[in-house]
Amino acid sequence: NAGVMQNPRHLVRRRGQEARLRCSPVKGHSHVYWYRQLPEEGLKFMVYLQKENIIDESGMPKERFSAEFPKEGPSILRIQQVVRGDSAAYFCASSPGQMNTGELFFGEGSRLTVL
């Protein structure tokens, strides 16, 4: 009965380094979503993925950010050449194939700190 698992929980990077955040959805869920929470703000949609497909990445910055959800393994959010403004909590959520109820199942988040 594992929920959405995210790792690492905390990640510290220096400016210019790369950050990789991983997300394993609820078992049986094939849809994954990434949200970003900046300090004192609500969560903002970044990207929606299904297995091997990016469905909607309209909320993701065009540069330096990428996401994937391979056939095998976790979904990965990758941030290249991080800057201080990337410091935030990144939340992954998953849902079954059909979002009949609209409910998303969230992970505990990964907090990225850029020095």
Contact assessment for residue 80 and residue 13, using Cβ atoms and an 8 Å cutoff: no
**For residues 5 and 17, which CB has a smaller minimum distance to another protein in the complex?**
5
Residue linked to tokens 């998303």: 104
Of residues 60-89, which lie at the interface with another protein (CB under 8 A)?
Answer: 89
**For residues 41 and 72, which CB has a smaller minimum distance to another protein in the complex?**
41
By three-state DSSP, how is residue 85 classified? helix
**For residues 10 and 15, which CB has a smaller minimum distance to another protein in the complex?**
10
- The C-alpha atoms of residue 50 and residue 17 are separated, in whole angstroms, by 27
Of residues 10-39, which lie at the interface with another protein (CB under 8 A)?
Answer: 31, 33, 35
Q: Pairing mode, if any, of strands 5-7 and 19-24?
A: antiparallel
Q: List contacts with another protein (CB under 8 A).
A: 3, 31, 33, 35, 40-45, 48, 56, 59, 89, 91, 93, 95, 98-104, 106-109
